[in-house]
């Protein structure tokens, strides 16, 4: 008697953006079953209520309707009397993000959390999936296991060993481009869906370097093989897009058409391509850090409600530290270019006053609302556990290197975390808030002359940095590694670009191009813009009675005097307003790192 759950998905209603799904449940002991859909997806910490996209759900036994009772927004009670049953339902799918599902006549994509109903009592049973081929020239890419009768990229029979594995394997379906390559003897697949002009040979070469770096980092002492038998980069390409979501043997990526290397410019390393490689590096690093090594609150995941943890600074922050660092380590970018990227991170953290109002523990804990549902006040009132978490990771790396005379590093901390996961196997319970600093202390005290007092000081400083609502002090530590950190003024037209002009007026807001003037995106606290009453989403149309646009904004502002009243005209909610703004002198708000001692810098650059 079969104990497997069987899903069948068909794609004939592409124009209506509907997946048609049948779920077959075998004979079972309970008289009734609870059926549910997750409310959030691991790696994206916001309740998304995926069940809201279910339509026309009904249950049957031998083609006759049976009772299916809604219990709440995402679960149902199925009265089966223990007999084999079938549920038929549709899922509306028209979201191009990496978190949900999409279907039209050009492409299909879904995460299991959006389409696969969970049957209580069958979570550990084998989960079978039949993908029915539509009358379209499409192929299939997924980390789900293929049956022996289903060739790679074909529609047919797929399966997972349990429900957790089932929903961890997104599926990409379209006429995609597939690039195959091996890393550490393991097949990898780059799947490109959408218009692109990529130099695929170069992308393949760079991805191979990054994947090998991460495997070497974690598997240095465990055989040199990754913890999966194959890997899939499922990449959706849009005219403008960015995002990624990690899974145990795949990742769903979103990027822009021109985020790839231009085959006509083999020596060019564009900002878009650097961003893409950093994204790939980030998501691949997650194979170890959060997909397997994870906070205790996520063991196991409870996907019917929020799971609060204070540790996301470690899982996203440390991963963010390594995503760009690995570009340098693999020779894709120079150390100077890496310092520029890290300087931008410091600038983003320090630009607003959010880190003065929220610490890293709070940032992690309140991700469900304050981070994933950011309001216009975010830059002033919250701090990102990604960006500031990466600065704490930098502090940890340099602190370990300094205390051990550059014989140990954050790499050793990550390997210790991984060894703990591997050693404990099914008994793994996840990390606690003090797990990382305990490993750091152990590394410092073993094989060095460091005293207990020094180790205690590092522990106390670590907890202060976690709990304090203040910038992480890095300048002195960086100086020990031959790097100068200083503050420089920004351009009036861009708060993220440094200015070398003696006259560099400060207004304190970010903007983007608009059909009418410029649209305000951020207003910094206590800035001239805030004092003038400028708010997010205002459309500024003139300053000093000169019409402004993105193209001429810098010229207009750079010709105005400081500390002088000027009229600023803007539109808010369809009404025209005039206010008075005073430009202030340049504010030293951007960070800039520069190598001043190349020999000392080697102690940071070295892989130990």
Residues 344-386: pLDDT tens digits?
999 999 988 999 999 999 999 999 999 999 999 999 999 999 9
Indicate whether 109 pLDDT > 90: yes
- Domain of 37, CATH number, reads 2.60.40.3650
pLDDT value of residue 490: 81
State yes or no: pLDDT of 605 exceeds 60: yes
| Cis previous bond, 300, omega within 30 | yes
Asked whether residue 393 is assigned to any structural domain, the reply reads yes
Question: pTM (2 decimals)?
Answer: 0.96
All residues at 6 or more sequence positions from 295 whose CB lies less than 8 Å from its CB, including other chains: 309, 310, 311, 312, 314, 315, 430, 431, 432
Does one domain contain both 382 and 250? no
Question: Does residue 588 lie in a domain region?
Answer: no
pLDDT of residue 495: 67
Final residue in a domain of this structure, among 108, 140, 172: 172
What percentage of the chain reaches a pLDDT higher than 90? 92
Across residues 2-6, what is the average pLDDT?
A: 90
Asked if residue 168 and residue 117 are part of one domain, the reply reads yes
Separation of alpha carbons 349 and 386, rounded Å: 10
Are residue 313 and residue 301 in the same domain, yes or no? yes
149 dihedral zone (left: phi>0; alpha: psi -120 to 50; beta) = alpha
Same domain for 51 and 33, yes or no, is yes
State mean pLDDT over 263-288. Answer: 97
Q: Is residue 282 part of a domain?
A: no
Q: Compute the distance between CA of residue 271 and CA of residue 561 in angstroms, rounded to an integer.
A: 34
Q: Are residues 105 and 38 in the same domain?
A: yes
Res 68 pLDDT > 80 = yes
Number of domains in the chain: 4
How confident is residue 573, by pLDDT bands cut at 50, 70 and 90?
very high
Average pLDDT for the chain: 96
- Mean pLDDT is lowest, of 35-44, 337-346, 548-557, 586-595, for 586-595
Rounded to the nearest 10°, the torsion over CA 497, 503, 507, 512 is -40
Q: How far is CA 443 from CA 2, 318, 402, in A?
A: 51, 18, 12
Of the candidates 511, 502, 585, 498, the residue with the CA atom closest to the CA atom of residue 549:
511
pLDDT classification of 450: cutoffs 50, 70, 90: low
495 and 460 fall within a common domain:
no
Q: What number is the average pLDDT over the span 87-105?
A: 98
pLDDT at residue 186 greater than cutoff 60: yes
Domain of 437, in residue numbers? 288-482+602-608
pLDDT per position as a tens digit, 457-512 = 999 999 999 999 999 999 999 999 999 999 998 877 676 777 777 777 899 999 99
Same domain, 193 and 261: yes
pLDDT of residue 331: 98
pLDDT of residue 448: 63
Over the stretch 221-256, which tens digit does the pLDDT of each residue have? 878 999 999 999 999 999 999 999 999 999 999 999
Average the pLDDT over 418-445 and give the result. Answer: 96
Does residue 21 lie in a domain region?
yes
Q: In angstroms, rounded to a whole number, what is the distance separating the alpha carbons of residues 434 and 367?
A: 20
């Amino acid at each position: 008697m079969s104990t497997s759950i069987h899903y069948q998905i068909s794609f004939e209603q592409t124009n209506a953006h509907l997946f048609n799904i049948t779920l077959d449940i075998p004979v079972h002991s309970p008289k009734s079953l609870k059926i549910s859909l997750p409310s959030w997806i691991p790696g994206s910490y916001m309740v998304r209520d995926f069940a809201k996209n279910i339509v026309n759900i009904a249950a049957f036994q031998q083609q006759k309707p049976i009772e299916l009772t809604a219990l709440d927004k995402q679960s149902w009670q199925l009265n089966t009397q223990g007999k084999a049953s079938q549920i038929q339902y549709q899922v509306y799918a028209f979201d191009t993000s990496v978190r949900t599902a999409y279907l039209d006549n050009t492409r299909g994509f879904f995460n299991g959390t959006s389409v696969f109903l969970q049957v209580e009592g069958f979570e550990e049973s084998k989960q079978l999936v039949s993908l029915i081929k539509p009358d379209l020239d499409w192929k299939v890419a997924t980390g789900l296991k293929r049956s022996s009768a289903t060739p790679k990229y074909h529609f047919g029979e797929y399966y997972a060993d349990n429900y957790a594995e089932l929903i961890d394997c997104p599926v990409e379906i379209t006429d995609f481009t597939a690039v195959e390559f091996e890393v550490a003897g393991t097949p990898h697949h780059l799947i490109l869906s959408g218009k692109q002009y990529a130099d695929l040979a170069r992308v393949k070469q760079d991805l191979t370097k990054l994947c090998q770096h991460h495997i070497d980092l974690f598997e240095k002492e465990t055989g040199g093989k990754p913890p999966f038998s194959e890997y899939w980069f499922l990449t959706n390409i849009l005219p403008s897009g960015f995002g990624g979501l990690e899974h145990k043997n795949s990742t769903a990526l979103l990027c822009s058409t021109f985020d790839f290397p231009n085959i006509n410019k083999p020596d060019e390393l564009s900002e878009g391509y650097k961003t893409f490689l950093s994204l790939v590096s980030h998501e691949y690093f997650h194979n170890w850090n959060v997909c397997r090594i994870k906070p205790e609150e996520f063991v196991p995941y409870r996907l019917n409600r929020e799971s609060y943890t204070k540790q996301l600074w470690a899982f996203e922050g440390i991963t963010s530290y390594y995503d760009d660092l690995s570009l340098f380590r693999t020779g894709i970018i120079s150390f100077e270019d890496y310092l520029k990227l890290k300087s931008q991170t410091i600038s983003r953290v320090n630009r607003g006053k959010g880190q003065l109002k929220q610490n890293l523990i709070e940032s992690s804990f309140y991700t469900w609302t304050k981070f994933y549902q950011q309001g216009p006040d975010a830059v002033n009132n919250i701090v990102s556990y990604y960006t500031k978490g990466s600065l704490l990771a930098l502090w940890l790396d340099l602190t370990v290197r300094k205390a051990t005379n550059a014989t140990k590093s954050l790499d050793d901390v990550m390997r210790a975390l991984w060894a703990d996961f591997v050693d404990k196997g099914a008994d793994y319970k996840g990390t606690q808030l003090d797990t990382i600093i305990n490993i750091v202390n152990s590394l410092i005290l073993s094989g060095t002359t460091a005293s207990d007092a020094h180790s205690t000081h590092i522990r106390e400083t670590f907890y202060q940095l976690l709990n304090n609502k203040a910038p992480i002090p890095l300048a002195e530590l960086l100086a020990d590694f031959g790097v100068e950190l200083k503050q420089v003024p920004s351009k009036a037209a861009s708060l993220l670009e440094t200015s070398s002009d003696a006259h560099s007026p400060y207004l304190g807001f970010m903007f983007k191009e608009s059909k009418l003037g410029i649209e305000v995106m951020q207003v910094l606290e206590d800035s001239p813009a805030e004092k003038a009453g400028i708010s997010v989403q205002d459309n500024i149309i003139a300053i000093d009675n000169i019409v402004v646009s993105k193209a001429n904004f810098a010229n207009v502002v750079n010709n105005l005097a400081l500390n002088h009243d000027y009229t600023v005209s803007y539109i808010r909610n369809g009404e025209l307003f005039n206010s008075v703004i005073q430009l202030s002198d340049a504010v030293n708000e951007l960070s800039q790192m520069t190598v001043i001692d190349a020999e000392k810098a080697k102690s940071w650059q070295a892989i130990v």
